[in-house]
Structure 1
Amino acid sequence: MNTDDRTAGTPLTDSEADARARQLIAEAYTPTTYRDDSPVPAYGTAEPVAQPGRPPMSQKATDISTLMLSGSVAALSVGGATSLVLYVLGTVSPVTLSIGAGGSVALVLAVGSLLKAAGGAAASLPAEHHHHYNGPVRQTNTTVTTTTSTKAVFARTNVKGGKR
């Protein structure tokens, strides 16, 4: 039935209204997509296709990527808190603000230096040696400490000292 032939404001008869309602319902429930539920083969000749989400990468790269994402979230929260404090303390002198902002950085650097020194002190302890001999023995112990400076194209090894 074509509704264009009707004049505006003319009510539909019951049979026309019923036919129009059935037409609208049939159009509303017409399937617009199809899903193939047949099982996918385990392997085939098709080339691999990149899937949505993170690109394929090694486990180490994935771990580093996750670490960087976590660090960026932490930096965002610290930066937001610092911005809020600076906004609230807008009338404070610049010297006070620089001391307050630099204090946390100095604290982090000091703690890192302390942990590095503590780790270095534990690693520099001499190893304990026990020697048991039967008969005459001549023992020579030589320690050589070197520093290799590889900051240029050519490397040079400096012997700081030999001890016998």
Structure 2
Amino acid sequence: MDFHPAAGRPMTDSEAAAEAMRIMDASFRTDQPGHFPTSYRDHSPVPAYGDTPPVLQPDHRIVPAWAAGIAVASIGVGAGVTGIGCGAWLVLQGLASVSLAGVLMVTLPFAGLAMAATAIGGAINRARSAVTKNVYEGPVTMRTEITSNNTTRGMFFARTRNDIHH
């Protein structure tokens, strides 16, 4: 039983049916100014054969052009990084299944280059150190006696002072 708000009593069946019809008519009325069609049919004449003439289609973009460009660029960067990741995965899978002999055969040229570079560097080092230009003139005195004065002060933060005299 529905309650009749104006009369302060329950509505009869005929009153409830009339109120339901009034609410439905008010809700689904099509002559209200806020309604608009959800589809459009072009009634212009179509030629008998050939392509149809172009129809103006207004551009109502929600996203600005710069944002769409950034989105496309980020998709491209993501696809590129995915390709690099797949390539790295394939290389690492190949390296994981390599035998010791295969690794040694691949690294043999690099070891040869390293050995040649070491030999050339050693030869250049010996050639540079073979020439001495140190010429000393005058008396040379060599003293081997050393007297030192050693003092330590402090308990927790000790300081040691060494004075060496020739």
Same fold (TM over 0.5): no
The TM-score with structure 2 as length reference comes to 0.27
- Bigger relative contact order, structure 1 or 2 (CA pairs below 8 A, ≥6 apart): 1
Point out the structure with max Rg over C-alpha.
2
